Amino acid sequence: MSRGWHLITHQVRDELSSMAKTDAGLLHVFLLHTSASLSLNENADPDVRDDLELALNRIAPENAGYQHTVEGPDDMPAHVKSSLLGASLLLPVASGNLLLGTWQGIYLCEHRDRAGPRTLVLTLWSNSSNAG
């Protein structure tokens, strides 16, 4: 996966649809990595993704004199960015559907130039569930 903000809302919705149905609940999305993160943000204008990437690169530049450099110049800034944004999201679910705002999308934020596959764990917590 390349560096950048990758919209994954559709994939998360697909996984949710294969889980038990719930009238009301919470979907916890957890990323099993320390140099990428998750974000809920605007999904309409692609410029927002570019601007967020620009802002994070200003906050955690590659040439900041980090001690941890064994994995390359993009690794430590990736850890900083991951710490700022976080590795999980908690999202409301009703009638088996994610309750997102009109312009909200779920992003996997890849902070390394060239990263391997990323793994998510989805856990659905609900007050009731029905198979189906």
Q: What CATH number corresponds to the domain at position 33?
A: 2.60.120.460
Q: Assess whether pLDDT exceeds 50 at residue 111.
A: yes
Answer whether residue 132 is part of any domain: no
Burial level of 57, CB count in 10 A (0-12/13-18/19+)? Answer: middle
C-alpha distance across the termini of the chain, in Å: 34
* Residue 64 DSSP class: S
| Cα dihedral across residues 17, 20, 25, 29: positive or negative | negative
Answer whether residue 43 is part of any domain: yes
Answer whether residue 22 is part of any domain: yes
Cβ atoms 118, 5 nearer than 8 A: no
Instruction: For the chain, give the percent of residues with pLDDT over 70.
Output: 96
pLDDT in tens, 19-70: 988 889 999 999 999 999 999 999 999 999 999 999 999 999 999 999 999 9
Q: What is the model's pLDDT at position 131? A: 44
Tally of structural domains, the chain: 1
Q: Which residues contact 50 (CB under 8 A, 6 or more apart)?
A: none
* Structural domain boundaries enclosing 99: 2-126
Answer whether residue 33 is part of any domain: yes
pLDDT category, 130, cuts 50, 70, 90?
A: low
**Average pLDDT score over the chain:** 94
Q: Assess whether pLDDT exceeds 90 at residue 128.
A: no
Answer whether residue 131 is part of any domain: no
